[in-house]
Structure 1
């Protein structure tokens, strides 16, 4: 796509009197430009994550988008809000990224579950994996007056994973309409297409998402569960792994629980298979665990640290995102790799 962006982009809000920093930025003042975009960086970054399914890709896309915006700012005439214009730039930048690589996946996308623990499972390095997103980067409530999703609902694992099954144009249309509250006409301008095409993309995207996302969001589920129970689940999960207590762990799980560990391809479904996996691998042969509570994708999560031998520090191992249902854990998604810890501001090791 072209790096030249139209200044006639519409958006959910309109600008009033011109910000003095905008005039300075147009004249080449990069400090003024930084002041303009700083309040919007978090929400733009979250948008890039929803589009791309990776915090690292979101970092790169946002940096590229802001560079494009800086270079094209002289052409911004203020006929829309700066925020709307920046979302246009960020969306087009993400669409360029989507065109150059395949969708991001979870193990459940690659094949059927395993009935028994797979010893010696090795990472798949030729798959672009979905990654977790730190709650610290999220706001609350809808981003626009017409938005249907809350900001936290729109980064839940099930929703972001479902988005990865959509072509880039459908992904962008759904996010701009349902999460950010843009109208179909505004989206058509953003994506250089017709309103008819946008409405068609929205209809197809909604069908796919409806098939893949549970009817009850995690935000609704968490509101129905007492906060103390959520803390109890997180603490109990951590303690059971640290003690090697299979009974305590199983007591926290639903009968149809799933456990996956990207970048490992094998995953497990159902209490029998998950128990066999847990007993034979994390509770037995992995080593000694320590945990820190955290939040990812608007869901409770645990940062897992592992010590393989009897001495030395516990090293960053995985971010375990917990999906709850009825006061129990229905899914564990363990994102393995120390690189996931950096965006969460977590230490690389525990002494």
Structure 2
């Protein structure tokens, strides 16, 4: 797109290149598309398609509406196109009841089955009104993204635009080419569905929160030493462990401990590299490589914290796709 934009700049008003005007909205559009789609990679593809469509149509835009609103209209249409006829993405907890550590792992399910984690840096503002930033972080938690997937696509758009982005009903109606009454009706149905989803309350990552940082430091220390007594002491009694792309998930200290000492014993000696995902603390997990003596990628762990303890360990095993997305190294040397 860059080469084409260079030739196109002279046709735009003002001194800023078209591409720069569009790019300043990329992060918030990525957050919007991620909430709509539940996939980091589909969200980034959707935003790129939005930028291409916007650049091609920029001459016809002519400032008839706010640029931001126009881009959201394009992004919404792109997302609705992607969602047409597709099954919703989900989490292991939505597919089955908790199993035991003795249960077979089962087959790896296709990528399109799962809600994927997303780096905070790609979709959340780094500044702005603290209350708005807090809402943005809450609205990308894995549990909230999973709840959104239960909504019909247009209901999903209405809820995000009205409840997360605080658009007025009239603005949403204009964007979706519908009526205010239809928007209000869709919002009411969406709220009812979300309320029935019983979203678990968890804490978003708070970099300056000493208590949370101390909890995470104890977690890293316990996991890297593979001190499972110390590790389980940091978990809620009904904490969960999930491992997409596998459907199997566990709940409670006994089964998590049995899994880590049994099928998961290869995690002993792992090293963790801190990142953030979905408004939550996260870690790239590297397991020991007996051949090289270093450590190789194993999982992206997204940690959900509630009331000072760990409520969920979400281990996403598709490291070939996720580690580059999060800027994690391909391996750790000895």
Q: Secondary structure at the match of 2:218?
A: helix
- Aligned-partner Cα distance in 1 for 2:117–2:229: 28
> Are the aligned partners of 2:284 and 2:301 in contact in 1 as well (CA < 8 Å)?
yes
SS at match of 1:166: coil
User: Which residue of 2 is the match for residue 307 of structure 1?
Assistant: 288
Q: Is the 8 A contact 1:238 1:302 kept in 2?
A: no
Query: What corresponds to 1:292 in structure 2?
Result: 273
Equivalent residue, structure 1, for 2:125: 139
Structure 2 residue 329 is matched with structure 1 residue 342: no
CA 35–141 in structure 1, closer or farther in 2 if over 3 Å, else same: closer
Q: How many Å separate the matches in 1 of 2:225 and 2:25? A: 44
The TM-score with structure 1 as length reference comes to: 0.84
Q: What is the Cα deviation at residue 290 of structure 1?
A: 1.0
Corresponding residue to 1:208 among 184, 190, 193: 193
Cα distance in 2 between the residues matched to 1:317 and 1:28: 50
CA distance in 1, matches of 2:223, 2:239: 17
Query: 1:158-206: CA deviations, max 9, x gaps?
Result: 1111111111001100111112121112112211222222111111111
Stretches of structure 1 lacking an aligned partner (at least 5 in a row):
1-20
Instruction: Find the aligned partners of 2:146 and 2:54 in 1 and give their Cα distance.
Output: 29
Q: Which residue of 2 aligns with 1:258?
A: 240
- Whole-Å Cα distance in 1 between the matches of residues 234 and 177 of structure 2? 49
Count of aligned positions: 324
In the TM superposition, what is the alpha-carbon distance from 1:25 to its structure 2 partner? Answer: 6.6
| Other structure's SS at 2:113 match | coil
**Residue 298 of structure 1: how far off its partner (Å):** 0.7
Contact 1:26–1:73 under 8 Å retained in 2: no
- Residues 1:276 and 2:271 are matched in the alignment: no
Q: Does 1:321 align with 2:321?
A: no
Separation in 2, partners of 1:26, 1:190: 26
> Unaligned regions of 5+ residues in structure 2, if any?
1-5
Does residue 130 (structure 1) correspond to residue 111 (structure 2)? The answer is no
* 1:176 and 2:161 matched: yes
| CA distance in 1: counterparts of 2:244 and 2:56, whole angstroms | 38
- Confirm or deny that 1:112 pairs with 2:94: no
The 1:245–1:341 alpha-carbon spacing in structure 2 relative to 1, beyond 3 Å, is same
- Alpha-carbon contact 1:166-1:208 (below 8 Å) kept: yes
SS in 1 for 2:24: helix
How far is the alpha carbon of 1:266 from its aligned partner? Answer: 0.2
Distance 1:35 1:115 in 2: 52
- Superposition deviation, residue 207 in structure 1: 1.4
Which whole-Å deviations, capped at 9, do the CAs of 1:297-325 have from their partners, x for residues lacking one? Answer: 11111111123535343122211111111
Q: Is the 8 A contact 2:280 2:302 kept in 1?
A: yes
Q: Offset of 1:236 from its aligned partner?
A: 2.4
How far, CA to CA, are the matches of 2:100 and 2:19 in structure 1?
53
Q: Which residue of 2 aligns with 1:249?
A: 231
8 Å CA contact 2:275–2:281 kept in 1: the answer is yes
- Range 178-187 or range 54-63, more displaced: 178-187
What SS does the corresponding residue of 1:123 show, helix, strand or coil?
coil
C-alpha separation in 1, matches of 2:97 and 2:246: 13
Q: Secondary structure at the match of 1:288?
A: coil
Distance verdict in 2 for CA 1:293–1:322, change over 3 Å? same
Say if 1:153 and 1:298, in contact at 8 Å, map to a contact too: yes
**C-alpha distance in structure 1 between counterparts of 2:121 and 2:153, whole Å:** 26
Q: Would you say the 8 A contact 2:202–2:305 is kept in 1?
A: no
Q: Distance in 1 between matches of 2:167 and 2:263?
A: 47
**Contact 2:275/2:283 (CA < 8 Å) preserved in 1?**
yes
Maintained 8 Å contact 2:240/2:249: yes
Question: Paired residue for 1:240, among 198, 202, 222?
Answer: 222
Cα distance in 2, alignment partners of residues 127 and 186 from structure 1? 32
